[in-house]
Amino acid sequence: SEDATDSFADQNVASRPDLKLARSITDLLSPAWMGHILLLLSLVFCLYNSSLWWHADSMDDAYITFRHSKNLVAGHGPVYNPGERVEGYTTPVWMILMAGVIALGGDPVFWSKIIGICCGLGLLFVLYKSLLRIGVLPGGAGLATLMLAGCPTLNAYTTSGMETCLY
């Protein structure tokens, strides 16, 4: 019977360490685990690629938001120049987030990059989980996530100082 065969196979594997290793590797490469491995690889790949872009200057628009944030913290309101009531920012959530960073004494250039990388990693995780939820096999979801993690545009924007990955 089939149960007897499985029992014999389990006893045989238990007595041979080389078969234990082979079985553990086979289990690791199963479709369910393959998706998780690809997701982990995607996250590491995104971190690595973002680190390559780290020393690139932040986009000039980021400095506009930083200035609005600085003036907000200083009590002038969300303006570019104190005394002028002109709305010049396009990302109110990011401006308020950077105002919080400035109010806590942080450097908005540094922290905008850190937050951008975290948002990029979150994007990859949400993509993977969303694909699984709609029925994509784990290996396919992991592969799609890995492809996005290797996208130069995503990696450039994670460290641009902009809000792109947040939205």
Looking at residue 34, its pLDDT comes to 72
Buried b (16+ CB within 10 A) or exposed e, 123-151: bbeebbeebbeeebebbbbbbbbbebbee
User: How does pLDDT run along the chain (167 residues), one tens digit per residue?
Assistant: 545 444 545 555 556 555 455 455 445 455 667 777 777 778 787 777 777 666 667 777 888 899 999 999 999 989 988 888 877 778 899 999 999 999 999 999 999 988 988 888 899 889 989 998 998 888 888 888 888 888 888 888 888 888 887 77
Predicted structure pTM score: 0.72
Looking at residue 20, its pLDDT comes to 54
Looking at residue 52, its pLDDT comes to 67
Which DSSP letter does residue 101 get? Answer: H
Which DSSP letter does residue 137 get? Answer: -
Looking at residue 22, its pLDDT comes to 47
Which are the contacts of 162, defined by CB distance < 8 A and separation ≥ 6? Answer: 58, 59, 61, 62, 65, 91, 94, 112, 116
Coil, strand or helix at 55: coil
Taking phi over 0 as left and psi of -120 to 50 as alpha, with beta for the rest, 57 belongs to: beta
* Closest among 162, 147, 164, 150 to 56, alpha carbons compared: 162
